[in-house]
Chain A
């Protein structure tokens, strides 16, 4: 079970990596980058999960000691929260580059973009 979940997350990472390396269409490369981003965020959160754990938020009538015994790890979640929003900034930048490339060369095909110099 433990190995299975990690291996599935690695498989998503490899699928995204395949799209970045093998595809020649700019949109497919962007989709591959997004898949790699999701897989990495997922793996970070998977490391911090506790079986039967509750979210790390103090609710009414719960002492901090009970929270420390029952909650999942908050540190990977804090790091992944910033990573998700950075992924959005990255998507905006890639879409801007894609729009510029299409306007300049008229195609999304990287073979043709490499050949049109000028």
Chain B
């Protein structure tokens, strides 16, 4: 896992992962107009990062997004989503669509739906950062899990 794959895979990943990331952000931000939403967009954005980790190896990918950055963005996304709920509290009840009270916009345009657009953005950040952090934590275990027990597994199975 820490050495990456052949140059063909690396070049293909370099070309394609940018498009995947932009597609994920697009699906998340136009969630209130066409199908998709924050959760699907967040998972697609995480898939772009997972492609980078798989193609270039964990050590190279950690120079671009470190685990502590992932933790930070994860917590920030969750906290901001909660902040949207609490701010709505001051303008009516919990989770009231406070931007919608100011101006609803026209149905079908991008800037419509009030807090729905903002909530989709924060959910995108939260889901993507959480999944990338979890995948980085999981990919640290290939060497230790395989080599530490791999040599002894043949001895253990016959016991």
Q: Chain A: residues with CB nearer than 8 A to chain B?
A: 55, 57-58, 60, 81-82, 84-85, 88, 92, 95-96, 99, 102-103, 106-107
- Chain B residues lying within 8 Å of A107, measured Cβ to Cβ, are 153, 156-157
Contact B149 A57 (CB under 8 A): no
> Which of A88, A92, A96, A106 is the one whose CB lies under 8 Å from B149?
A106
Contact B144 A96 (CB under 8 A): no
Binding site secondary structure of chain A = helix
Give the complex CA separation of A92 and B132 in angstroms. 11
Q: A58-B107, A85-B127 are in contact. Are A102 and B39 (CB under 8 A)?
A: no
Per-residue interface assignment for chain B, residues 116 to 159, with 1 indicating a CB less than 8 Å from any chain A CB and 0 otherwise: 00000000000100010010011001001100110011001100
Contact B37 A103 (CB under 8 A): no
Contact A103 B39 (CB under 8 A): no
Give the complex CA separation of A102 and B127 in angstroms. 28
Contact A106 B153 (CB under 8 A): yes
14 pairs, A vs B, C-beta closer than 8 Å: A60-B108, A81-B37, A81-B39, A84-B39, A85-B39, A85-B43, A88-B131, A95-B138, A99-B138, A99-B141, A103-B141, A106-B149, A106-B153, A107-B157
Contact B34 A102 (CB under 8 A): no
Give the complex CA separation of A81 and B35 in angstroms. 11
Q: A81-B37, A92-B131 are in contact. Are A103 and B138 (CB under 8 A)?
A: no
